[in-house]
Chains A and B, each alone.
Chain A
Amino acid sequence: MWEQIREFFADEVVRERSVAVLIALVGFVFARLISRAVEGLVRRQGGPQAALLARRLSFYLVLGVAVMVALDRLGLDLGVLLGAAGVLTVAIGFASQTSASNVVSGLFLMGERPFGIGDAIQVAGVEGEVLSIDWLSVKLRTWQNTFVRIPNETIIKSEVINLTRFPIRRVDLFLDVAYDQSLEEVERVLLDLCYRLEFVLAEPAAFVRVSEFGASGMRVGLLAWVQSRNFIEHRTRLLTEVKRAFDSEGIVIPFQQIVVHQSNEDAQPGH
């Protein structure tokens, strides 16, 4: 058996090919180790998306070098290969302008960092949590648990709203109250409610303002601060509690109504 193996490797071509395969394999393992180490280093400084990018970049760089050394071992002329690669690159470049644009946009995104993995964002009419920021696209998970891929170029060209960049957010609730209602009373009820609800921040303090006189009532705004995390739940709970407080205090939220005045002349019979 050993004799057969020795004979097999006695052939120089087989030996060289085996060494080339070994170099590629060792290169693969080495690339994984290096890329993980780089990811760990970058994560501390630049966050998860930069770490992901650094890992991929270092992995393919080390693997590429190993593959080139392996090909060189096989006797392939790397000059010719690189020349062919250059021509191929130009051809691919023309054929993949959109992809190239996305890659460049991705680099800008990673440099500018308007959002990170785990942030909740709103972009191009889509709202969701950022799952990954890749070379060509950003992947989102929407609140309906659907997966959305948005090309980097679209993100660069669009308005991006990061909903969780800051730990606190303001809830703006606008409510109509009847004209015969005392504004001071409405303000007292709303601010007392905010004081009682533990999820409404004591500071910055909530405040009430009248924004306009509408067709059916006065438009009153309650502007209260809550944690950005669970914003939707906080907003919903605040709305529910406002309704409950208004009901218990006898404050009426008016609905659309039209008052029709009939002139006396029209009302007289016989005309």
Chain B
Amino acid sequence: MADPVFEAIEYLATTRVQWTLGPLRLQAQARPPGLWVEARRSGDPFDPGWAREELSAEDGDGDEGPPVIFQRLFAGFTPPFMVNLRPRLADRPIITRPEMEVVLGPGVSTDVYLSSPLWIEVCVGGEALCELPTWRASDTWFGPDTTHGVLGYAGRTSLRTQRSEVYDTPSRVATLATISNRQSRPVVLDRVALPMPNMGVYRDRDGRFWSDSVRVHCLEDKEAEVTITAPKSAQGLALERVGGPREIARSDGFLEAFSAVMRGTS
């Protein structure tokens, strides 16, 4: 879909553009000897702002407003050059903890929608210069103990089961997770790790971002396994793939361990 936010812009000597991407306010300005990039972030992770605005030299530097989180001068570009933004997914897994205790009965399977912040890549001439998350979630640890595991970003979810309940802001990425309990006893779902670096990113007609879907199987012998699949066609969404995964998942499609943490009901 055509979205001015992701359209390439020809930068001349005085070009200065500001993008509002949810809580992230990104500004890029042609400044000798290259491209000056500055980012600020507001305090609302679900800020609905989404726009591109060309600023003139008379506009102030915008010292007021949210604090600056990123400033860099990328040298080596002489106007005219083309600048564009590209959507990406997080560079680490998103570890989502349900806001309430969720129990899955034996043999039960359920679809839930999870959401995570979109990442944005700034490109010149099609080459990536830097990338920033629209919202910086807290770091977290996911593993059986403090010596084995992976670092990720923390997320919380109320386990929305309807597509319409997903946050309707373009700066969030929705992921459909099908969680099935293949154990012979009920389990409590503590946390789910979405392997964002292994997933592609898509966009629907309404401008919302989607990632690949995941199937999380709670097995008898292991903690859980996760399979990455293309977003379900049954969702009735006309999805366009707008970005590939950062890392290629193992060829058999299964990711090793730590995809979910469950415990038996007491």
What residues of chain A have their CB less than 8 Å away from a CB belonging to chain B?
A: 166-168, 195, 197-204, 225-227
Contacts and interface: CB of A to CB of B under 8 A. Distances in A.
B253 to A, nearest CB: 25
A202 B140 contact: yes
Contacts of A203: 95, 97, 140-142, 154, 191
A182 B146 CA distance: 32
8 contacts: A198-B138, A199-B138, A199-B139, A202-B140, A203-B95, A203-B154, A225-B141, A227-B151
Contacts of A204: 141, 146
B136 interface: yes
Contacts of A200: 138-139
Size band of the interface chain B makes with A: 10 to 19
A204 B141 CA distance: 7
- The secondary-structure label for the interface of chain A is loop
Contact of B137 (A168, A198, A226, A227): A198
Contacts of A166: 146-147
Contact of A198 (B97, B136, B147): B136
Most buried by A among B146, B147, B191: B146
Interface in B122-170: 136-142, 146-147, 149, 151, 154
A122 B164 CA distance: 55
The 8 closest A-B pairs by CB, nearest first: A202-B154, A202-B140, A202-B138, A198-B138, A203-B140, A166-B147, A201-B139, A198-B136
Interface string B27-44: 000000000000000000
A18 B258 CA distance: 64
Nearest to A234: B139
Contacts of B142: 203
Interface string B171-213: 0000000000000000000010000000000000000000000
A144 B80 CA distance: 45
- The secondary-structure label for the interface of chain B is strand
Interface of B: 95, 97, 136-142, 146-147, 149, 151, 154, 191
A234 to B, nearest CB: 10
Given A195-B138, A201-B140, A203-B154, A168 B146 contact: yes
A109 B151 CA distance: 29
A168 B151 contact: yes
Contacts of A168: 141, 146, 151
B154 to A, nearest CB: 4
Nearest to B191: A203
Given A201-B141, A202-B138, 20 more contacts: A166-B146, A167-B141, A167-B149, A195-B138, A198-B136, A198-B138, A198-B139, A199-B139, A200-B138, A201-B140, A202-B95, A202-B140, A203-B95, A203-B97, A203-B191, A204-B141, A225-B141, A225-B146, A226-B139, A227-B139
Nearest to A200: B138
Contacts of B139: 198-202, 226-227
A134 B215 CA distance: 49
A168 B146 CA distance: 7
Contacts of A198: 136-139
B65 to A, nearest CB: 19
Most buried by B among A201, A202, A227: A202
A226 B147 CA distance: 13
Contacts of B137: 198
Given A203-B95, A204-B146, A167 B151 contact: yes
A200 B95 CA distance: 15
Contacts of A227: 139, 151
A226 B97 CA distance: 19
Contacts of A195: 138
A52 to B, nearest CB: 26
